[in-house]
Structure 1
C-alpha cells in the first residue's frame, strides 16, 4: 500500500512540487511567505495529497482543505453542538465547484503530526483525531472512505452503509473513478432551456402505473422475477433490492438536476439505460459500486 512508505519528503515547503504549492485548492496549507501554516502536520497532508493524486488518480480540483463542519449530536430532548474543520475532503468529481461541503464528500482525510503515538490518547493524538474523523463521517450522508494518518502510521476505513458511525478498516483504497466521465456515456442529459419550467430540460417522463407494473413485474415477470430467478433472491429480498434501485434512480435524477441549477452546466444522469445505446457492463459496474463497495 502506498501509504506505508513515509519518509516525510515535504518537511521543507521548498520541496513541495510547484503543481501543489501553487494550486488554488491547496493554498490554505501555506502562509504568504510560502512556509507552512502548521509546520509539523501540513507536510503529512501534502504527502497524503501527493499519494492520492499520483497513486489513486484523484484530481487536485476535487480536493478541499479545512472544510468547516457544524453539526449536532444527541437526542430530541437535548444534545451538543460541534464545530470543527475537516482536514481534507475529496469530492465525487460531479460536485466539483458545487459548494456541497460534507453533503457531497466522497473521501475524508484526517492528518496529524508524525511524532504522535500510534493509538495514543494524548491531546491532539491518534484517538482524538479518530474521534473527529468519526464525527465528520457521521455528519456526511455521502462520504464512503476515510483516512487517518500521521505519515508513519496510516489507517484506511470504509463506511458501513448500514451503520454510518461504524468505520470498517480496509487494506487499501480503490482507484478514484470519475463519475462525471462515466455519466458522459449516458444518453440522458439535463440541459439549460429557458422555455422550460425552472429553466432546465430534464428529459424525464412521468412513470405511469402500467409502466411501473411492467418494469417491476411480479412473481412471473419483470424485475422481481429476474432478481428471484437469476440472482437467487427470496421474494422479500427482491422487493428490498427493487426499493434500493428506485431510490438510487430517484436520487441520481434529483442530484443531477440540482447540479445543473447550481452550476449552469449540462450534466448527464449516471443511473440510466437505453437499449442499444447503454453499455450494460458499464451500468452494472455503476450499480455494483452503489450497493457493493469494495
Structure 2
C-alpha cells in the first residue's frame, strides 16, 4: 500500500500556496460551503483542492520531501507542453536543474471511476511528453495508483509507491573539480580508470542489461548515451574554476528517480550543445550526425546504479588504451550476443591497418563503418607510429578532422561515436547515412576537396577526397529491382537487374578514393576467384593496382555469425593517365591461422605478423 494512506480534511486556513489564484478560489468556495453547512465535509467531496492539499501534506510529512522546496522544486499548476497544446499538472517535484522528475495528479473525492481513469491517462500523457519525468501518482483520496514510464515512453507499469526523499541514495560526498596535477594528465580531479578498474564499463553494461532485462546490444546502446553525457560533463567542468561540482553524480539528489532525471537533463544539454556547436562548422550536421537525439531509455534504478558505479572515474583523464580495452569488453559482449555482422575481427583489422600504413596527413574513411573499429585502430596506429614526433596541434587536427565514417544504423553510429570519443575524439565525422546514396547527400565530404577556379563546380561534387579507405561492407544482401536507380549509379551495375551489396560497396569505396589512394576492403573470396565475378575483376584492372590479396580460413567470421570464406583486397587507385601493366605483380597470401578458433577462443601460432612482414618486404606503394 502506498505511504500516502487515507484521505483526511485539511482546513483551508492551513493550505499551502495560499496566494495562488486557484487555491484562493477553492478556499473561497470551501468557506462558503462551511458557512452554509457548518462543516467542510460537503466541500471536501466536491472541491479538488482538498485532495491536492492532502497530497501536498503527505509528500512533505510522509515522503519527507523538504518543506523548503515549496514554490521552487515542489510546485503546483506546472505547465506541461504536449505538442501544440499546454496543460497544467496538479503537483510537480523538480530535480536540482528545475526539471520535473515526478508528477502528482489529484481528482475530487466524489469523482467517478471514469474520471479517475481519465486522470490516469492524463498523467501518462504528462510522463510521455517529459523526458526527465518517469514516475507519477494519481489519487482522489479514496483510490491511489502509482505508475512508472517504461523503456518505451508510451508504455507504463504500476508500482507500489512513489520514491521517498533520500531513499537509496548512498553518496554523501560531493564530487567537484580539483586542482589539476602539475605535469600529469589529470584535469578533473576524478580517478582515472586504471588496469585494476578496466571492468567498470563492463559492470555498468551488466547493470543496464540485468536491471532492465535488455538484450546486450540494447544495453550497449544505452551505456553509449550515458558515456556521452559523462564525457560532456567532464569537459564542461574542466572549463570552470576549481571546486565546480560535476552534474554526473548522485550527491544531493533526493532519490534514484531524481538522479536519473538529473542525468537525462545533462544528456539533453549535451546533445543540444553538440548540435549548436557543430552545425556551424559542418554542413547538414544535425541531419547526419544527430544520433544522440534519442532519449535515454534506462529505468531510474538502472540509470542510478550506473551513475553510482561510474561517477568517481574520469573518462577524459584516463589512458586511451585502457578506455579502449574497457569499451571493447562490453562491445565484445554485444557482438557475441548477435551484433557480429557489424564487426571485423581484430587480427583482420590489424592486418589491414599495418599493410595500408595510414599517415597523420591522410584523410581516412570507412564508408560502412559499423562500430568504427577500423577508424579507432587507424587512430591508434598513427598515434603509436607518429604521435611522439607530431606537434600537439597536428595530432589534434588528425583526430578531429582526418577520420571519417558512414554508417546506416543509428545505433551503430552511437557506438562508433562513443568509441571515438573515448579515444579523444573524431566522433563528429561519423555520419548516420547510407553510403550508397547520391553524392549530394554528403556535402561535407565533397567540401573537403581542394577547389581551383577553373573547375570549381565539378570538384565541389567530386567525392574522391580520401587518401585511405578501410572497410568491410555488408555481405549477402542482394540489391534487386526496387533499387535499380541506386544500382544505375555504378559501372558494375550496368545492365544488371540485381547485384550483391558487397560489389556495389567495392565500387563506392573506390569512388571515395583519391587517385593514388589506398584501399583495404574485406570481401567474399569468390569475388577474387569465382567465374560469376569475372566482370568485377576485369573492371578492377582498369581502375586500380591490385597490390595484394590475403585469403582467410573459413572460421574467420564464424564467431561473428558469418559462414562465408573471405579475403582482404588491397588496392591502389590509378592516377590520371595510369593503366594496368601486364607484368604488374599481385602479392597473394593464405593466412591459415588468425589467432582464434571457429568458437572465438584464442589459438596459438597466429600468422598475421608474418603476413604483414612478407607484404612489406615484397610490395611497394607507387
Q: TM-score, normalised by structure 2?
A: 0.30
Q: Which residue of 2 aligns with 1:70?
A: 81
8 Å CA contact retained: 2:136, 2:162: no
Question: What number of residue pairs does the alignment pair up?
Answer: 225
Choose the corresponding residue for 1:271, options 207, 229, 248.
248
Corresponding residue to 2:61 among 41, 54, 72: 54
Q: Which residue of 2 aligns with 1:193?
A: none
- The change in CA–CA distance for 1:290 and 1:204 in structure 2 (over 3 A counts) is farther
Q: Could you tell me whether the CA contact under 8 Å between 1:223 and 1:242 is conserved in 2?
A: no
* Cross-structure match for 1:13: 12
Whether the 8 Å CA contact 2:4–2:62 is kept in 1: the answer is: no
Tell me the residue number matched to 2:123: 133
Correspondence 1:113 to 2:100? no
Matches within 5 A, 1:77-116: 81-92=84-95, 94-95=96-97, 100=98, 104-116=99-111
* Deviation of the 1:247 alpha carbon: 3.6
Aligned residue for 1:271, secondary structure, equals coil
For 1:231 and 1:21, the matched residues in 2 are separated by 40
Kindly indicate whether residue 5 of structure 2 is the aligned counterpart of residue 4 of structure 1: yes
Q: Which whole-Å CA distance do the structure 1 matches of 2:25 and 2:88 have between them?
A: 21
Q: Which residue pairs with 2:159 in the alignment?
A: 170
Where in structure 1 are there 5+ consecutive unaligned residues? 73-80, 191-202, 206-210
Q: Secondary structure at the match of 1:42?
A: helix
Give 1:188's match in structure 2, choosing from 156, 176, 200.
Answer: 176
Q: What is the deviation of 1:243?
A: 1.7
* TM-score, with length taken from structure 1: 0.59
- Are the structure 2 counterparts of residues 250 and 13 from structure 1 closer, same or farther at C-alpha, using a change threshold of 3 Å? farther
User: 1:231 & 1:83 partners in 2: Cα distance?
Assistant: 34
Gaps of 5+ in 2: 31-42, 179-186, 261-298, 306-622
Higher helix share: 2
Report what 2:47 is aligned to: 40
2: CA distance, partners of 1:146 / 1:165: 14
State how far apart, in whole Å, the 2-side matches of 1:4 and 1:82 are. 34
Query: Any conservation in 2 of the 1:183–1:268 contact (CA below 8 Å)?
Result: no
- How far residue 178 of structure 1 moved from its aligned partner, in angstroms, is 9.0
After superposition, the Cα gap between the structure-2 partners of 1:238 and 1:53, relative to the gap in structure 1 and judged at 3 Å, is closer
Higher relative contact order (CA 8 A, sep 6+): 1
The superposition leaves residues 53-108 of structure 1 with CA deviations (integer Å, 9 ceiling, x where unpaired) of 11111124221111222321xxxxxxxx322111110112x13xxxx5xxx10110
Could you say what secondary structure the match of 2:24 adopts?
A: coil
Answer whether contact 1:184 1:268 (CA < 8 A) is retained. Answer: no
Q: Aligned partners of 2:123, 2:26: CA distance in 1, in Å?
A: 30
Deviations 1:138-167 (A, max 9, x none): 11101121011111111111221x111222
Are the equivalent residues in 1 in contact too, given 2:93–2:103 (CA < 8 A)?
Answer: yes
Taking a change above 3 Å as real, the CA distance of residues 183 and 137 of structure 1, as seen in their structure-2 partners, is same
Q: How far apart in 1 are the matches of 2:24 and 2:206?
A: 62
In 2, are the aligned partners of 1:36 and 1:42 still within 8 Å (CA)?
A: no
Post-superposition Cα deviations, 1:193-236, rounded to whole Å, max 9, x if no partner, equal xxxxxxxxxx759xxxxx89x78x9xxx5545656899998975
Q: How big is the shift at 1:268?
A: 2.2
For 2:122 and 2:206, locate their aligned partners in 1 and report how far apart those are by CA, in whole Å: 45
